[in-house]
Amino acid sequence: MASAGQGQGPERGSGFERGSGRARGRPRARARRWRRILYWIPVLFIGLLLGWSYYAYAGQLCVVSMENIGEQVVCLIVYHLLFAMFVWSYWKTIFTLPMNPSKEFHLSYAEKELLEREPRGETHQEILKRAARDLPVYTRTMSGAIRYCDRCQLIKPDRCHHCSVCDKCILKMDHHCPWVNNCVGFSNYKFFLLFLAYSLLYCLFIAATDLQYFIKFWTNGLPDTQAKFHIMFLFFAAAMFSVSLSSLFGYHCWLVSKNKSTLEAFRSPVFRHGTDKNGFSLGFSKNLRQVFGDEKKYWPLPVFSSLGDGCSFPTCLVNQDLEQQSTPAGLTPAIKNLEGHQFPSKPLRESQSHLLTDSQSWTDSSANLNKGKVGMSNPGLTIENET
User: How far is 90 from 129, CA to CA, in rounded Å?
Assistant: 41
| pLDDT value for 31 | 80
Separation CA 88–CA 185 (nearest Å): 18
Where in the sequence is the domain holding 144, given as residue range(s)? Answer: 103-177
Give CA separation, 379 vs 73, 119, 135, 310, 327, in Å.
Answer: 67, 21, 11, 23, 12
Among 267, 298, 329, give the residue marking a domain's end.
Answer: 298
Question: Which one of 298, 321, 348 terminates a domain?
Answer: 298
Do 217 and 287 fall within a single domain? yes
Q: Which of 75, 149, 169, 177 is catalytic?
A: 177
Output the pLDDT for position 48: 97
Q: What is the pLDDT of residues 312-353, one digit of tens each?
A: 999 876 444 444 443 333 333 333 333 333 334 344 555 455
Would you say 352 and 312 are in contact if contact means Cβ atoms under 8 Å apart?
Answer: yes
Q: Which of 133, 156, 177 is the last residue of a domain?
A: 177
* Average of per-residue pLDDT across 250-265: 96
Residue 126's pLDDT band, with cuts at 50, 70 and 90, is confident
- Is 177 labeled as catalytic in the residue annotation? yes
Confidence band of 6 (pLDDT split at 50, 70, 90): very low
User: What Å distances lie between residue 341 and 175, 280, 360, CA to CA?
Assistant: 29, 11, 10
Indicate the helix (H) or strand (E) that contains 317.
none
363 in any annotated domain? no
Residue 171 included in any domain: yes
pLDDT greater than 90 at residue 73: yes
Average pLDDT, the chain: 79
The tens digit of pLDDT for each residue in 99-120 reads: 999 999 998 888 888 877 876 6
Q: Report residue 328: phi and psi, to 5°.
A: -60, 160
What secondary structure does DSSP assign to 261-285, as a single string? -HHHHHS--EETTEE-TTTT---HH
| pLDDT bracket for residue 359 (50, 70, 90) | very low
> Is 130 inside a domain boundary?
yes
Residue 279 inside a domain? The answer is yes
> Do 87 and 228 sit in the same domain of this protein?
yes
Domains identified in the chain, total number: 2
Q: Quote the DSSP letter at residue 145.
A: P
pLDDT at position 357, please?
Answer: 56
What confidence score (pLDDT) does residue 349 get?
Answer: 54
Judge whether 36 lies within some domain.
Answer: no
Residue 269 has pLDDT above 90, yes or no: yes
pLDDT, tens digit, 9 for 90 and up, residues 191-216: 999 999 999 999 999 999 999 888 88
